[in-house]
Structure 1
């Protein structure tokens, strides 16, 4: 609901509540309870006082004016309506000053104003000071006080303000004394008023029955004597007849009543006393029976038209059988006044006495109960603070079980609070200690979150936040931002050959050099051997200079356990906003440029160019196609021969994988094998290659071709992530190829990473009869001393040693030394990459065992190599 609709809704509820309160007052005015002397007991002022208190002075006065104006038109006792209107006006003014003393204000009004005004008004009317007037005044005052009490109780204990839609709530908490007073007075007044009402009704009925019995007896005797006299007024209206009727009335007359006889037209025939049968000055208040009525005189000359109940009379009317004459007997009410007055005055004395007694009892009960409760309230005032200050608490005592139990509960609660305060103090001390530790932990977490634990450099998360801050700071000025990705070349080989501990020490030294070199740029470590530099620049020449300085940081070798390591780095550079409008694009482009620099050569840097993105896209395309290639048989094997250096004949073959991409055509291994290593597909590819090479070799043997050993390259991951032995055994069993016709080529780095595990696996394979060859020997970091521990059959010299061997004396000397050393350990030497006759002749002179290269044949598909194999057999 909107804020505009809410006040409108509240105003509507308040208006409806005001109208309802006024309507209930009108209903109460109409439905009053009749009491003695014509006084009517009403509860009109209950609703008017409630309305006055809820809605304010002027709305309350308006409701009173409406109700009493309508009441004046409905009832004849107008004086009481004017007193009710005056009550609302005066009490409303008093309540403004004393808002919580409604009953006291109304009681003061009735005792000081309304009751004297009622009494004096009647005295002025009748010039009398009768006790009946005191009774009438008392009844009216009690009616007003009872209404005020009911209104005060309703306002105190009912949520009228919430029901009426009024936001404020001016009710105060009630004291025990006030509650007891309300309870006691209500318990006394309501039953007594009900008793008075029932008693008054019974007493009045008793008086009316007595009057009717008396009148009926007198009327019966008069009628019987008249019938026995045989004198008929209808037949003879002479003086004698009238005299007879007069004597008959006189005979039965009494001071208690008057007798009147009327004819059929209502004319009084004889009459006694001074009272005529004039009903014009009386009104019929009530028909008590078929023959008896209550007549109340009306003083028309009085401007307020007040009824005078004590001057009323019972009128009994009875007809004389078959004569047309009516006997009227009037019995004044004052004959019963003393009887009725004594009963009422006795009741009112009892009422007042018991009300005072109830108030006194309530006072003493409240004092009896309240003393202990008050002392308990004082003892428990601000109890937690006092217990903390270790104040002595004086607990009260009581003979009342419930209060004694309450005091005991508070005592126990105090004990528990003291214990809780002690625990809280201990917890507070622990929390302070934990807060201190938490502060230290937060600092550690911050370093863990934003700094690399190995090198101490800011990490990837810190880098991302730093770049975003730089973009915000330099937005709109002439400074631009450069991001450089640096990757240590051949760091993986260092990890594989020298171990991760050495790699970690190398990273620490590299980070230290970067921090010292890149003074104008911030350096971060993203993970592994990837470092990134970020800084602002105004001229691109500044970026060139910074890239060169970073590259020169690797010009000196790293010292690890006294061993020098010569490494280089590749740097990719991306500029903001030239190479991207958002940070993610700039970082991605720097990464692309770094891979381009790595491919072009060691120790160089490259700026991002849009065409580099297409190259990376191609790599991603190839990487995503590897899985599909395995599923759809896109791979195939080519075979390259190995030639015996001594005989020049075919002595072995090497199986080399090729990928026939449906869109990109034939893809060489150097393009997709590294991708397969990174993506984790290399295990499945090696499994397929080994099985296919065994199958094809067995097929050639079954076709009658000479048996020959086939070499298969195996990734080092099989030794640490895959089950190499199971793969080889399963493939040999499935293809039925003898193990002696299989050779496994493993790179040098595999042996250096976890030599004991690798040696154990190789020894098992050697027992099966499988040959083991170390591929690309000389490119890693193994020592010749470790070579003698390896159970391998031959060593393949990397082609980098063979190229230029005829012209480079140092290289030829190294190769000669390696060959001699390998031969001394009963291993064979295979020279790969032989492309010229001079290289072939030189290798023969150095006594290489086998030669492999383009000089003899390029790798051929199976059907072409089959012809070559068949020709060698011939």
Structure 2
């Protein structure tokens, strides 16, 4: 479901970004003269971040094509496309430093290209170069920062994640940089926009005031003319035309051009001493109207950058003479006389703004790294701290920096880690003591258990162990009880040996018997349940295995036991009973094996007898 939503969302997101890019390519925020703040590169950069480099390049190329084919494309629009191309091609190398890459583009590529284009137009002033190079840098940095803010805080779910950190996680240094850079760039750009628009209005107002003052003086003089003067002027009398020439020449100021003409365009007077027969024709160009009298005309020539057209622009003040309704006063003033002043002011603001922004950003990066270094030290020091301290490792002492609050935090952490280390070492010491005591208790318990459940002479399990074993069988479910074969043994002639040779000889015989039984019954276990009585237990043993074990026991007792200088003859009688074949009760099984053992003694000893044989004989009788 999520994959289907993603396949649907990506084309839709691409179309939205394309529409916004076209909209921003058509409209921008006016500043001073031809200078504008554009969001044209913002949405292709977003496409690079959200959809990939191919989508970003395609959107930017589409906008550039539309601008050159249908709108008034300029060199700046081409530079915006080159900016997107540069960011897209270097995306893999500096994935998380797009703002730095954009700054590198404008410093190493964009600004030199702008200088070359401006130089191709002719001599370029320092003011124009500052305006041409600094504003695109600020514009590009702002758009790149806006795209980074959008993908980090507004659209984190659309950003493809290929590695850590997790989606939505924001490093502290990035958060600090975004906060300071956004506030600073936003404030400066807002100031530049407001200041640019204010200076632009001031420039037009000054041009209007100057032009209007010239036309007002001429209009006042014309208002003093008589009707006869008007009649003679309409007849194109040379005397009246000469008076008008003297009038405009008297009002001439600087590079302003003053013309007096009628509604048909016939020129009566011109500060350039134009011919009386000359007629006025409005030159071709792009006209901007600021009020009902003042116009600004841009030359129609194709300049590589828009500011050069503004340097050649002209203000036209068309002021009709109210009393002399057929006459118009036309004042033409070069725009560069007013533009140069505001450009100088604006270039200073723009240049110092960019310089200050770069200095603050570098300081912010330095401060962010300083804070990040302290934070990384805290993270490194706290990572695995309990385990490190519990293993006897030293506490990680964090070095201090120059920030007071972080130094206090560092002191608190260092003090806390020392105390925690002491507590953990004390705990480890107590745990070690407790473990030693526990080991001693377990050892003592094992010794007590050994003493309680084993025969001290032979080392075999005793009657208590054998009794608990039988009881454990009673607690098992019937299907879990194994087939049990019990061999009950009693040593032959043991009482005679014990009475004749003493208890030491008897002990030697018992030890020898235990050794023989262990060797013969390796698949089971052997217990000494009385003085010379033993039992051997075999679980799930077949008949042949049981008889082999019994025969091995008899063979082991055939050789006499050497005690001091005497050979002690030895033998044993064995009774064998099987559960559940003979009985299902473990206690009853011992009795049956005991009966079979006594039967073996009656037959002369040194043999084994199956209880099943005794039962068969009794049943046959």
Q: Using the alignment, how far apart are the partners of 1:33 and 1:303 within structure 2? A: 21
Q: Using the alignment, how far apart are the partners of 2:358 and 2:36 within structure 1? A: 25
Q: Using the alignment, how far apart are the partners of 2:188 and 2:377 within structure 1? A: 37
Whether contact under 8 Å (1:119, 1:133) holds in the other structure is: yes
Whether contact under 8 Å (2:287, 2:298) holds in the other structure is: yes
SS in 1 for 2:95: coil
Q: CA-to-partner distance for each residue in 1:131-152, whole Å, 9 max, x for gaps?
A: 3243223222322233233334
- Larger Rg belongs to: 1
Q: Using the alignment, how far apart are the partners of 2:15 and 2:421 within structure 1? A: 53
More deviation, 107-116/189-198 = 189-198
Instruction: Note closer, same or farther for the CA distance 1:110–1:253 as it changes in structure 2 (3 Å cut).
Output: same
Instruction: Note closer, same or farther for the CA distance 1:423–1:47 as it changes in structure 2 (3 Å cut).
Output: farther
Q: CA RMSD in A?
A: 4.2
SS in 2 for 1:232: helix
Instruction: Note closer, same or farther for the CA distance 1:386–1:271 as it changes in structure 2 (3 Å cut).
Output: same
Quote how far apart the aligned CAs of 1:308 are. Answer: 0.9
Among 331, 336, 339, the residue aligned to 1:337: 339
Are positions 1:288 and 2:306 aligned together? Answer: no
Tell me the equivalent position of 1:540.
none
Alignment of 1:186-585 (within 5 A): 186-230=182-226, 231-232=229-230, 235-273=234-272, 278-285=281-288, 287-300=289-302, 308-322=309-323, 323-359=325-361, 361-362=363-364, 365-366=367-368, 369-370=371-372, 372-393=374-395, 394-397=397-400, 400-401=404-405, 404-405=408-409, 407-409=411-413, 411-412=415-416, 415-416=419-420, 419=423, 426=431, 453=471, 456=474, 458-459=476-477, 462=480, 516=578, 518-519=580-581
Quote how far apart the aligned CAs of 1:50 are. Answer: 2.2
Quote how far apart the aligned CAs of 1:414 are. Answer: 6.5
Q: Using the alignment, how far apart are the partners of 1:523 and 1:29 within structure 2? A: 100
Instruction: Note closer, same or farther for the CA distance 1:198–1:74 as it changes in structure 2 (3 Å cut).
Output: farther
SS in 1 for 2:91: helix
Are positions 1:40 and 2:36 aligned together? Answer: yes
Whether contact under 8 Å (2:106, 2:136) holds in the other structure is: no
Whether contact under 8 Å (1:517, 1:550) holds in the other structure is: no
Q: Using the alignment, how far apart are the partners of 1:169 and 1:361 within structure 2? A: 29
Which stretches in structure 2 are left out of the alignment for 5+ residues?
443-448, 450-468, 484-574, 588-611
Among 145, 160, 169, the residue aligned to 2:155: 160
Quote how far apart the aligned CAs of 1:117 are. Answer: 0.9
Q: Using the alignment, how far apart are the partners of 1:378 and 1:37 within structure 2? A: 55
Instruction: Note closer, same or farther for the CA distance 1:129–1:215 as it changes in structure 2 (3 Å cut).
Output: closer
SS in 2 for 1:38: coil
Q: Using the alignment, how far apart are the partners of 2:576 and 2:266 within structure 1? A: 141
Q: Structure 2-normalised TM-score?
A: 0.64
Are positions 1:102 and 2:98 aligned together? Answer: yes
Q: Using the alignment, how far apart are the partners of 2:356 and 2:321 within structure 1? A: 53
Which stretches in structure 1 are left out of the alignment for 5+ residues?
441-450, 467-512, 526-548, 557-874
Q: CA-to-partner distance for each residue in 1:407-428, whole Å, 9 max, x for gaps?
A: 5256436744764687689499
SS in 1 for 2:329: strand
Q: Structure 1-normalised TM-score?
A: 0.47
Quote how far apart the aligned CAs of 1:8 are. Answer: 2.4
Whether contact under 8 Å (1:257, 1:332) holds in the other structure is: yes
Whether contact under 8 Å (1:79, 1:304) holds in the other structure is: yes
Quote how far apart the aligned CAs of 1:283 are. Answer: 1.0
Q: Using the alignment, how far apart are the partners of 1:325 and 1:417 within structure 2? A: 100
SS in 2 for 1:384: helix
Tell me the equivalent position of 1:499.
none
SS in 2 for 1:36: coil
Whether contact under 8 Å (1:161, 1:168) holds in the other structure is: no
Quote how far apart the aligned CAs of 1:320 are. Answer: 0.5
Instruction: Note closer, same or farther for the CA distance 1:344–1:550 as it changes in structure 2 (3 Å cut).
Output: farther
Q: Using the alignment, how far apart are the partners of 1:367 and 1:457 within structure 2? A: 72
Alignment of 1:607-686 (within 5 A): none
Quote how far apart the aligned CAs of 1:375 are. Answer: 4.2
Quote how far apart the aligned CAs of 1:88 are. Answer: 1.4
Q: Using the alignment, how far apart are the partners of 1:239 and 1:15 within structure 2? A: 75
Quote how far apart the aligned CAs of 1:338 are. Answer: 3.4
Are positions 1:17 and 2:19 aligned together? Answer: no
Q: Using the alignment, how far apart are the partners of 2:373 and 2:198 within structure 1? A: 46
Q: Using the alignment, how far apart are the partners of 1:69 and 1:218 within structure 2? A: 46
Whether contact under 8 Å (2:121, 2:304) holds in the other structure is: no
Alignment of 1:574-613 (within 5 A): none
Instruction: Note closer, same or farther for the CA distance 1:278–1:104 as it changes in structure 2 (3 Å cut).
Output: farther
Instruction: Note closer, same or farther for the CA distance 1:392–1:168 as it changes in structure 2 (3 Å cut).
Output: closer
Whether contact under 8 Å (2:206, 2:338) holds in the other structure is: no
Q: CA-to-partner distance for each residue in 1:36-72, whole Å, 9 max, x for gaps?
A: 2402211221221121133222121111112222333
SS in 2 for 1:362: helix
Whether contact under 8 Å (2:118, 2:304) holds in the other structure is: no
Quote how far apart the aligned CAs of 1:299 are. Answer: 0.3
How many residue pairs get aligned? The number is 463
Instruction: Note closer, same or farther for the CA distance 1:123–1:61 as it changes in structure 2 (3 Å cut).
Output: same
Higher RCO (Cα < 8 Å, 6 or more apart): 2
Quote how far apart the aligned CAs of 1:170 are. Answer: 7.0
Whether contact under 8 Å (2:249, 2:271) holds in the other structure is: yes
Quote how far apart the aligned CAs of 1:203 are. Answer: 1.9
Q: Using the alignment, how far apart are the partners of 1:232 and 1:38 within structure 2? A: 44
